[in-house]
Amino acid sequence: MALIDELVDPAVHAELEAVEEQAEAEVEAAVDEQAAALGLTAAALVAAAPAVVAAVSAAVLAAVPLGARIALGAARPQRPRRGGRLPAPGAVDVRGAVRDAVRGGVEALRDAPEEQRPVVFGRARDWFGVTARDVTQRGASAGAQAAARRAGAAGLLWVAERDACLQCARYSGETSPTGAFRAGLSFDRAYVWTSFSGQPPLHPNCRCVLVLYWPGSTLPGALRREARAAVLAHASTSASHAAATRAAARLGRTAA
């Protein structure tokens, strides 16, 4: 059994996943509605934006308490720390994320040959869905940080999903006293997603979560050992064979 199964209530995690899926479906439906009226055009993307903002905003509101429940589910009763509390989480910028998705789609359509417009529009539509899931998960991370701040925890602990990719696995067990995690960690070649905000999601398919961290906890070490063991066993289902082999070889040399 993976540690995430012990630390995170599967029902709450599934509820968060359902919120993300609903937001994605509503966003794509909003784009489809405008495409039916205005064609596969930049105008359709622009016209869909208000409905997209509304759908994603509702998802974020639902995700914040779910992120808090996930974070608190792994907590053990502790005396709150004096000083050094986490800062309050920043607001999730729904409008900014949607604006960026619209801008990207409009620019891609402007430069696309006529015969490629259906493909380009489809990619823009898909990216709206990715944006919905990304921003929803940012809401969950903000909820985790708010819960940790209220509890007086020492920081946040990153927990990778089971069968995590080589980047997410490298983050598992990392802690942050500020709520922000450094970019660029990986068991293999690292890349930094431009939308990474210092908290999950690390990339568009990331389903990692944050839980409370207390001084003296053995969880960071246990999570790191679990991640390394999975890499050495080539257990990452999302990594290519070459990437998994490189990562295992690198870890093997480090341990030698």
- How confident is the model over 187-214, as pLDDT tens digits? 887 778 888 999 999 998 899 999 999 9
pLDDT exceeds 80 at position 59: yes
Cα dist. 224→5, 29, 143, 187, 220 in Å?
15, 40, 24, 11, 6
Query: With 60 as the cut, is the pLDDT of residue 247 above it?
Result: no
Q: What is residue 199's three-state secondary structure?
A: coil
Domain ranges of the chain: 3-255
Q: Find the radius of gyration of the CA atoms of the chain.
A: 20
pLDDT at 243 over 60: no
CA distance 238 to 236: 6
Query: Is the model's pLDDT at 85 over the cut of 80?
Result: no
Report the alpha-carbon distance of residue 192 to residue 200 in Å, rounded.
12
Cα torsion angle, 57, 60, 64, 66, sign:
positive
Q: Give the model's pLDDT for residue 78.
A: 56
